């Protein structure tokens, strides 16, 4: 009986250690996503996508791995939560701007501190905040890639209509929304080719493959293509099981 109890304790401790180590690993997913409508004159566009940092500090190894390999960086929300100091956020921003121009959308946990503090910090380092706004990139012959970003859906700050208006009419549209449920609001008429989201952490802790949310994946819908990331950090407890942390190097190109 004592032997079984000891074995149980050893197994539990070992599992917790494994879950902790898993939650703090660096895992870069390299993905090539092609679209018939992607402007050929833009060639390839490479994006480093990272979301849901929460309490994690971006590792130097991760920055070294992606530096020089991408054209821009997108933070998909939850750069922090109430447990995180503004000094730690600044440390992460300083690292990410080494990789390329940084674009940010708000997540629900970003509002757990005074948003003016985060807003000021991002502006200090030249991070472009996509809060129901858009930015566009144009090729030499005038073809455009339009990056749209909406504010947090759970706090009802999102206004896709304003982002679309800001982006203009013609171009290949990418929408960044912290919450992937935005896909249920989209129609073909918005002509959004790709949506980048996080928020769900892939369920974070999955027992026999079952979690509160689906594992992160790339999924095609009739109206768009959606990438949901497992995210980089964790909420509540710094543990993961069956849902590795993820960052993404996404290569966009034409398949026409």
CATH number for the domain harbouring residue 16 = 3.60.21.10
Strand order in the sheet with 172-176: 133-138, 144-149, 172-176, 192-197, 225-228, 217-220
pLDDT of residue 243: 96
Q: Give me the phi and psi of 12, to 5 degrees please.
A: -65, -45
| 176 strand-pairing partners | 149, 196
Q: Residue 137: what are its φ and ψ, rounded to 5°?
A: -125, 135
Q: Specify the 3-state DSSP secondary structure of 221.
A: coil
Element housing 119 (H / E):
helix 115-124
Phi, psi of 201 (to 5 degrees): 60, 15
Is residue 256 pLDDT above 90, yes or no?
A: no
* Residue 169, pLDDT score: 86
Residue 2's pLDDT band, with cuts at 50, 70 and 90, is confident
pLDDT of residue 210: 84
Predicted local confidence at residue 9, as pLDDT = 79
Q: Averaged over 51-78, what is the pLDDT?
A: 97
The reported pLDDT for the residue numbered 71 is 98
Do the Cβ atoms of 40 and 139 come closer than 8 Å? Answer: no
Which segments of 125-212 does DSSP mark as H helices, in order? 160-167
The span from the CA of 151 to the CA of 129, in Å, is 9
From residue 161, how far is each of 140, 155, 157, 164, 246 by CA, in Å? 28, 17, 12, 5, 30
Per-residue pLDDT tens over the stretch 98-156: 999 999 999 999 999 999 999 999 999 999 999 999 999 999 999 999 999 999 999 99
**With contact defined as beta carbons under 8 Å apart, do 175 and 149 qualify?**
yes
* Confidence at residue 170, expressed as pLDDT on a 0 to 100 scale: 87
Instruction: Taking residues 159-173, report their average pLDDT.
Output: 95
Q: What pLDDT digit, counting tens, does each position of 176-233 carry?
A: 999 999 999 999 999 999 999 999 999 999 998 888 899 999 999 999 999 999 999 9
**What's the average model confidence in pLDDT over 5-18?**
80
C-alpha angle with apex 68: 253 to 55, nearest 5 degrees?
Answer: 100
Could you give the CA distance from residue 249 to residue 107 in angstroms, rounded to a whole number? 21
- What pLDDT is recorded for position 3? 67
Q: Name the more confident of 1 and 58.
A: 58
Partners of residue 187 on adjacent β-strands: none
Residue 63 is predicted with a pLDDT of 98
233: domain range? 2-254
CA atoms within 13 A on the CB side of 42: 25
Q: Which two tokens stand for residue 76?
A: 């998909």
- Given a contact cutoff of 8 angstroms between Cβ atoms, the answer to whether 103 and 72 are in contact is yes
pLDDT level of residue 22 (50, 70, 90 thresholds): very high
What's the predicted TM-score (pTM) here?
A: 0.95
The number of folded domains in the chain is: 1
Using DSSP, state whether 81 is helix, strand or coil: coil
Confidence of residue 64 (pLDDT cuts 50, 70, 90): very high
Residue 1 has pLDDT above 90, yes or no: no
Tokens of 109: 């946990």
Tell me what percent of the residues of the chain surpass a pLDDT of 90: 89
The rounded distance, in Å, linking the Cα atoms of 167 and 161 is 10
């Amino acid at each position: 009986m004592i032997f079984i109890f000891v074995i149980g304790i050893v197994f539990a401790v070992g599992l917790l250690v494994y879950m902790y180590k898993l939650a703090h690993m660096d895992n870069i997913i390299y993905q090539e996503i092609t679209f018939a409508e992607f402007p050929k004159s833009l060639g390839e566009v490479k994006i480093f996508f990272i979301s849901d940092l929460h309490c994690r500090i971006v590792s130097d190894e991760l920055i070294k791995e992606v530096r020089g390999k991408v054209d821009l960086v997108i933070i998909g929300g939850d750069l922090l939560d109430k447990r995180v100091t503004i000094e730690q956020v600044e440390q992460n921003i300083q690292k990410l701007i080494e990789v390329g121009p940084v674009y940010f959308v708000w997540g629900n946990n970003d509002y757990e501190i005074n948003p003016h503090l985060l807003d000021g910090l991002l502006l200090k380092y030249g991070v472009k905040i996509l809060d129901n706004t858009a930015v566009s990139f144009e090729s030499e012959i005038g073809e455009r890639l339009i990056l749209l970003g909406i504010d947090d859906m759970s706090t009802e700050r999102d206004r896709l209509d304003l982002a679309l208006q800001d982006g203009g009419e013609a171009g290949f549209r990418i929408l960044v929304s912290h919450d992937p449920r935005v896909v249920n609001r989209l129609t073909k008429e918005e002509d959004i080719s790709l949506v980048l989201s996080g928020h769900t952490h892939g369920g974070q802790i999955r027992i026999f493959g079952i979690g509160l949310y689906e594992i992160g994946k790339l999924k095609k819908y009739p109206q768009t293509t959606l990438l949901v990331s497992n995210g980089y950090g964790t909420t509540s407890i710094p543990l993961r099981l069956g849902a590795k942390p993820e960052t993404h190097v996404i290569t966009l190109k034409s398949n026409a």
